[in-house]
């Protein structure tokens, strides 16, 4: 980045608690920064060459004074994620200024570089607090260097600063390697996403540097999705770059490593699927089967006990589930496993939803469209089935086409513990008449139960008695 000469500079330091040596060091730090622009500044703020003291910096330089006083507020308005008070505090501490002076001394900061400056100041302040700075004097100079080198900050730049524990010297080196090389910056960003992260990324600086310097970096960056499975499988390998280069030279098999990653992710979860061997899964690889077994792990989570199951039977049922799952039946099979997950408690899933019964349902709905329609509509409507075996009996013996025409009666039957096989043999018209009569009767009972009491009921009753007595007396009088 070309920077015009700085004509004058008046540093302001107001931290009175800071010892004189530290203030002098901060002053020399700023002077060294200005020396890179061929302008030496004396301690009183005047030019070393003599002359009048103009308190403004060139418009193209990173300056701290002059110009519009509201430039910081304007810049912050374009970055709503950065709270003005927090931002001002961090920048003030970093520049060794009072909070109120930040707006005045930041007139030439570019609005599109506010997030970058915020992240650099945050990292510098944090590392300083925890004594992680290699050399505070040199690191602050590196902050300015990094700020000037990055003309148009990207999210990847911010991730490198915020999501890693790299020193400023290491960050500066990474910026040098990625500057004017968008494919390398994209590679660094993808690597940060691939490596696991807790508070900070586990991507080591040496590994990242190797990825950016290797002759294959452009190839890896352009086809990162192909190489990602291999990298993800080797995140703990410090020689991953050298090993990957050997694989590329031999002829990288992207399908093999994609399958291996799928199987590794499945087996890393201790669930029902762990009864199958990785070798079996690799030899009979089925990406839809892998996805379904992941759902099976979740459906039976917390209930799985290998010792309580017959391993050979369990392997047999899981193998059928794995090998028979396709793109066409994946969705409805997932719906059935979701039903198992939400319907049954932890202690009775294997009793009320054994894998053998689950596979029986899978087998029937694969062959019979009416059975598939019945299962789909029932589970979508959250019908109150008591077990998966109840679904199996219904599929095997009931008239499914007839039941599909009246799912409201199916729900009524399940709520009233009726057999769905018997329901399918009934005349629905007669059943409708019976239900209408029953509904009217229930409605009347409800009205009686929930009708609010009339506060004048006793008075009305007394008036009725008196009126009836008066009528009786008149009738007796006329009869005589």
Q: Which is higher by pLDDT, 414 or 109?
A: 414
Residue found under tokens 């066409």: 328
* 266-to-83, 230, 275, 427 alpha-carbon distances in Å: 42, 16, 11, 50
* DSSP letter (8 states) at residue 386: S
Return the pLDDT at 137: 85
Closest of 118, 104, 2 to residue 60, by C-alpha? 2
Handedness of CA 194, 198, 200, 203 (dihedral sign): negative
The arithmetic mean of pLDDT across residues 133-159, rounded, is 90
Predicted confidence (pLDDT) per residue in 221-265, tens digit = 999 999 999 999 999 999 999 999 999 999 999 999 999 999 999
The arithmetic mean of pLDDT across residues 302-316, rounded, is 70
Return the pLDDT at 445: 65
41 has a pLDDT exceeding 80: no
Among the ranges given (65-69, 277-281, 298-302, 361-365), the one the predictor scored with the smallest mean pLDDT: 65-69
Between CA 74 and CA 69 the distance in angstroms is: 10
Return the pLDDT at 84: 62
First to last CA, the chain: 127
Return the pLDDT at 459: 77
Return the pLDDT at 21: 42
Contact 189, 163 (CB under 8 A): no
Residues sharing a CB contact under 8 Å with residue 320, sequence separation 6 or more, in sequence order: 359
94 has a pLDDT exceeding 90: no
Write down the pTM of the prediction. Answer: 0.69
332 has a pLDDT exceeding 90: yes
Between CA 130 and CA 239 the distance in angstroms is: 31
Residues sharing a CB contact under 8 Å with residue 413, sequence separation 6 or more, in sequence order: 419, 420, 423
Return the pLDDT at 446: 60
Share above pLDDT 70 across residues of the chain, in percent, rounded to a whole number: 72
337 has a pLDDT exceeding 50: yes
Predicted confidence (pLDDT) per residue in 193-208, tens digit = 999 988 899 999 999 9
Among the ranges given (68-82, 266-280, 290-304, 329-343), the one the predictor scored with the smallest mean pLDDT: 68-82
Domain ranges within the chain, ordered by starting residue = 1-153, 158-252, 282-426, 439-479
480 has a pLDDT exceeding 50: yes
Among the ranges given (165-179, 336-350, 369-383), the one the predictor scored with the smallest mean pLDDT: 336-350
* DSSP letter (8 states) at residue 399: -
281 has a pLDDT exceeding 80: yes
- Label residue 144 by pLDDT band (50, 70, 90): confident
DSSP 261-272: HHHHHHHTS-SG
Question: Per mean pLDDT, which of 40-49, 83-92, 223-232, 469-478 is the most reliable?
Answer: 223-232
Contact 400, 391 (CB under 8 A): no
DSSP 59-100: TTS---SSS-TTHHHHHHHT-TTS-HHHHHHHHHHHHT--GG
Residue 142 CB neighbours (<10 A): 21
Predicted confidence (pLDDT) per residue in 418-475, tens digit = 888 888 888 777 777 777 777 776 666 665 665 666 667 777 778 888 888 888 888 8
Closest of 216, 144, 145, 208 to residue 177, by C-alpha? 208
345 has a pLDDT exceeding 90: no
What are the helix (H) ranges across 325-453? 330-343, 349-352, 355-367, 369-380, 388-397, 400-405, 407-415, 420-425, 428-450
- Label residue 44 by pLDDT band (50, 70, 90): very low
Return the pLDDT at 9: 32
Between CA 103 and CA 295 the distance in angstroms is: 55
Between CA 274 and CA 293 the distance in angstroms is: 10
């Amino acid at each position: 980045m070309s920077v015009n000469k700085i004509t004058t500079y008046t540093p302001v330091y107001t931290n009175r608690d800071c010892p004189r040596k530290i203030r002098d060091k901060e002053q020399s730090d700023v002077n060294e920064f200005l020396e890179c622009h061929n302008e030496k500044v004396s301690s009183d703020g005047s030019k070393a060459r003599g002359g009048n003291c103009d308190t403004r910096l060139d418009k193209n330089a990173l300056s701290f004074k002059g110009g519009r006083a509201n430039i910081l507020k304007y810049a912050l308005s374009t970055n709503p994620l950065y709270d003005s008070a927090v931002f001002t505090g961090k920048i003030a501490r970093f520049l060794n200024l009072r909070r109120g002076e930040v707006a005045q001394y930041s007139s030439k900061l570019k609005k599109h570089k506010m997030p970058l400056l915020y992240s650099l100041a945050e990292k510098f302040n944090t590392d300083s607090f925890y004594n992680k700075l290699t050399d505070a004097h040199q690191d602050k100079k590196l902050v300015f260097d990094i700020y000037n080198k990055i003309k148009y900050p990207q999210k990847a730049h911010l991730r490198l600063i915020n999501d890693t524990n790299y020193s400023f010297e290491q960050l500066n080196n990474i910026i040098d390697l990625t500057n004017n090389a968008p494919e390398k910056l994209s590679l660094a960003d993808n690597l940060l996403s691939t490596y696991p992260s807790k508070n900070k990324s586990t991507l080591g600086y040496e590994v990242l540097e190797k990825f950016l310097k290797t002759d294959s970096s452009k190839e890896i960056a352009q086809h990162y999705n192909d190489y990602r499975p291999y990298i993800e499988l080797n995140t703990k390998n410090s020689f991953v770059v050298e090993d990957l280069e050997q694989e590329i030279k031999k002829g990288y098999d992207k399908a093999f490593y994609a399958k291996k990653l799928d199987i590794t992710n499945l087996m890393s979860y201790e669930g029902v699927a762990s009864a199958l061997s990785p070798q079996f899964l690799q030899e009979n690889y089925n990406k839809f089967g892998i996805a379904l077994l992941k759902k099976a792990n979740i459906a039976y989570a917390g209930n799985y006990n290998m010792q309580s199951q017959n391993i050979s039977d369990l392997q047999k049922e899981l193998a059928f589930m794995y090998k028979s799952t396709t793109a066409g039946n994946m969705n409805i099979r997932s719906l059935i496993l979701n039903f198992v997950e939400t319907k049954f408690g932890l202690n009775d899933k294997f009793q009320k939803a054994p894998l053998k019964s689950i596979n029986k349902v899978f087998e029937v709905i694969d062959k019979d469209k009416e059975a598939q329609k019945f299962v789909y509509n029932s589970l979508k409507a959250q019908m109150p089935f008591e077990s998966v075996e109840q679904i199996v009996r219904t599929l095997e013996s009931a008239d499914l086409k007839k039941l599909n025409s009246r799912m409201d009666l199916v729900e009524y039957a399940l709520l009233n513990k009726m057999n769905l096989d018997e329901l399918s043999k009934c005349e629905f018209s007669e059943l409708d008449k019976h239900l209408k009569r029953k509904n009217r009767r229930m409605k009347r009972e409800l009205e009686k139960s929930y009708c609010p009491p009339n506060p004048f009921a006793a008075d009305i009753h007394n008036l009725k008695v008196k009126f009836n007595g008066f009528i009786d007396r008149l009738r007796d009088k006329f009869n005589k």
